[in-house]
Structure 1
Amino acid sequence: MEINPLLTEALLQYIWKFGMYQQQDLKTVAGEPLQIISPGIHNLDAGPDFTAARIRWNGIEWAGNIELHLRSSDWLKHRHGKDPLYKDIILHVIYLEDVALPLPNIPTLCLQHRIPNILLDRYSMLMETPVFVPCENMLTKIPRITWFAWLERLMIERWERKMTVFRTWWLQADYDWEAVCFRAVAQGLGFPVNQFAFEMLTGICPYEVLQKYQWKPMELSALIFGQAGLLRGEWSEEFPSELQALHAYLFHKHHLEPPMNAHSWKWLRMRPTAFPTYRMAVLVALFHQRPRMFSRILRFNGLQDCIDFLKVDLPGYWQDHYRFDKISPKTPKPGPQFMQTMILNAVLPLMYLYGKERGVAALQEKALHWADQIQGEDNKITRGWQSAGLKIDSGLNSQALIELKKQYCDHKRCLDCAIGIKLMGQGL
C-alpha cells in the first residue's frame, strides 16, 4: 500500500506529539491493550524520536523512549536493533506495517486507521496553496490570545538572532558596549538594503580610531566616507575633495584596511534620505554630537526621549546634498519613522541583550515596551500581512510578523508555528 506523499516522518512526529489520532481502545499490532500515559519529549538530537515517555502495556507501566517510522521495515532499514541509543525503546509507532518485526520486548502501535483524513487535507492545503502565507485564508479563525503570545515569542526570536551578532561584536570590542552600539546603529541606519554594507564598513573603521576624532567632524567624515569607498575619483566641489585628501592621510597614519568597493552600496529604487551617503552623514553627526550614546539611552524612561535624543543636525553641506557633487533641494532632517525603525532594529535588541547579560529584567521589559509603542513598519512583508487581514499596530507586531514570514512561512514550517498547530488541530 502506498503512503500519502504528504505524510512525512516529521508530520507523523507532530501527530504523535499533539495526540492528533484516535486514542480510544488502543491495541498493539499483536492485539494487546495499550495506553499512552505520556507521549514523551520530542528529541531533536540523535537517538529516539521521543524520550521520557510512559505507557501501560498489558497492564504494566513502562517508562523509556519511543521511535516513530512511516513503515515498520524502517526499523530494519535504519539498523536500530544494533544501535545502543535505541536499547531503551518501550514502543515502536508506525503508520503502515509492511513487514512483521521480531521485537518480542517492544510493542508496535500502528496509526494507519487512526489519523483523521481532515488533518492530512488541512496539511495539504497549507503546503500547496500558492498564497502570501500558507494559512492566509484561515488567519481570522485564530483567537487573539494565540496571536498575542506567539508574536512576542517571535519578536524575541528575531532579537536573539540579532543578539548573536551583537555578542560577537561585544567580545571583539573587549566588552565595550559603546563600540557595539555604534556598530548596531550604523547597521540600523543601513536598514533594510544597505545594512550588511554598513556592517562591513564598521568592521574596517576601528572604533578606537574613530574615538580619537570624535570632536573633529571633518576627520570623522573622511574616515567613514573614505573607508566606504565613496571618495574615489575627481570632485568639482571643495568638501569631497578635502575629505579625499584627509582620508589618504588618515589611511596611512592609522594603517587602515583597504576601503570597500563603491559597488557594495545600493542606490536604486530608494528615497534620497535612504541613500548611503546621507545615512553616513547621519552616522557621523550622531557619533560627533551624541557621545556615550548607549549609556545615555539606557537612562531614558520614555521612548520619545530616545527619539528626540537621536535627532541630530546635519552639517551645512548636507543641508542641500544627498550625494557628493549633486546639489538638491533643501534636505529634510531624518523623520520620526526613520528614527523609530533604526531604534527598533538596532537600539532595542542591544538594550535587551544588555539587560540579559547584566541580569536587569527591567531593561528587557523596557525594550519590549518601547517596541510595542513604536509605529509598525511599512514594507512589502507587512503590507502582505495587512492584505491577509491582520492589523499591524506596533513595531513589536511588525518585527514578529517579518520573523514569521521569513523563518517559518517561507520555509513551510507550519508544524513549528503556533498558528499552524492551532489550525491543524481545530475541529479534530
Structure 2
Amino acid sequence: MSAADAPVAFLARVARRPLPVLLGLAVGFLGCCVAGRVAARQQPFKNFVRFHPGIAPESHYYPTYSQTLNLARQHVKPDTTLVIVGGNSVLHGVGQRPAHVWTNRLQELLGDRYVVLNLAMRAQWPNEVGGLIAERLAADGVPVVYITIGTENVGWGCDWAGGTYPYFFWDAYGKGAVPADPRREQWLEHEFYDRFGDEPADPAARRRRAAWRDQVREERHRGTVDGVAYAADLWTYVADRYRGTIWTPMKYPKFWAPHRTLTDSDPGATIPFEAYNGPAQEPFELNHMRHVAGSPIARELLQGRGQDAVGDQFGMYLADALRDRTLYVLRMEGAYFRNRLAPDDRATYEAVYRRLRDAVRGAGLNVELVGERYEERDYFDRAHLSESGGRKLAADLAPAVRAMSAKLYCTRAEERKP
C-alpha cells in the first residue's frame, strides 16, 4: 500500500466503525467543559494591581467574568467596604506607574476598613467590567462602593451590554450571573430585538445595519454557548499561566509566552511633561475643549435647561442596585490646555462642568468634580492625570467614599461622626 493510500484506508476504517471516534470526540468535549468550569473557579492574575495591556484585550487577552469575580471576592474582607474602581483609562491610571497609581494612594487614605480594587480598562464605559462585578457583589450582600467615570459628552454611547467590552456582559449573562434588574430585563426580552426591526432604505446603510445586527446577535449567542462550554475560562487560564495561542506584538518574538510574563510598563513620570503638553498639541486639544463647551447639552445647561435630561442619561444604564452605590467622577481636562483657552472660552468650559455636576446631583446620584484647581503638571496629557494628579484625585474622592459607606452601611460609629 502506498503512502497516498494510507489516509484513505484510515478513513475507511473510521467510516466502518464511527462510534469510537464519536465517543472520543464527545469525551474530549466534555473533558474541556469540565476543565473550563474548573478554570472558572480560579483567579489567574498574579500580583494584580490593574488590568494592564498584557492582561487586557490590547494583547488579545480577554479576562472572563468568572475569573474577575473570583479576583474581587478575594478582596472581600470582614467588616470592610470594598471600593471597586471601573471606568476608562483616566481611572485606570494611564500616565502613572503601577507603584504610583492613584488607587494605591486611595487605599492609604481610606485605611484598613476599606479595600480598593482597580478594575478600570481603557475606553471602558461606566456600566462595563467593574460595574458588573460591583453589582454582583452588592446583590450578594457585600458592602460595595463603585467609582466610575462620568463623561462630559453625557450620552453613554452604549447599551446594557456595554460598548467597548460587550463580551464581558454576555459572558456573565450566559452563566446566569447577572442580577435581576427590571429595566435590563425589559431590554433583554424586547428592546434588544425590537431595534433590529426597521430596515433602512439606502442599500449601503442596510448592509451596515445587517453587519451590526449579526455582530451583536453573535455576541449574545456566544455568551449563551460559553455558559455551557466555559471555553473562554479554559483559554484565559491556559494563556495566562502556560502558553499563549494568539500572536501579539507585546510578546514578540515569543508570542506563545504566557501572559503573566508581561509586566505593567506604563512609564508614568519618566516621560517628560512636554512630550504631550506643548504648542504642537494645542490646535487639536484646544479644539476638543471648545467642542465640549459648545455641545448641544452644554448650551442647554448654560441656558438653565436640560438638567433632567442629564440626570436621565447618567442613570440610563445604571442598574438599580448600583444607583446609591455609584460615585461618578467628572474630571476637568488638562490645566496646560485650559490655561491656553481664551478667558471667555475657559470660563464657559469650566461652567459646563459645574452645571453637569449639579445636574447629576440633582438626579439623586453621587458625583464629584475634580481637576478644577489642579496644576498643569498634575496632568500627563490633556485627558489623563499624572502621578501627582492621581494623588490629588485620591484625596478628593476619599471623603466622598467614606460618606457613602457610612450612609449605606452605617455600622461604624467613627464613620458616622461629622
Larger radius of gyration: 1
Q: TM-score, normalised by structure 2?
A: 0.23
* Structure with greater contact order relative to length (CA < 8 Å, sep ≥ 6): 2
Q: TM-score, normalised by structure 1?
A: 0.22
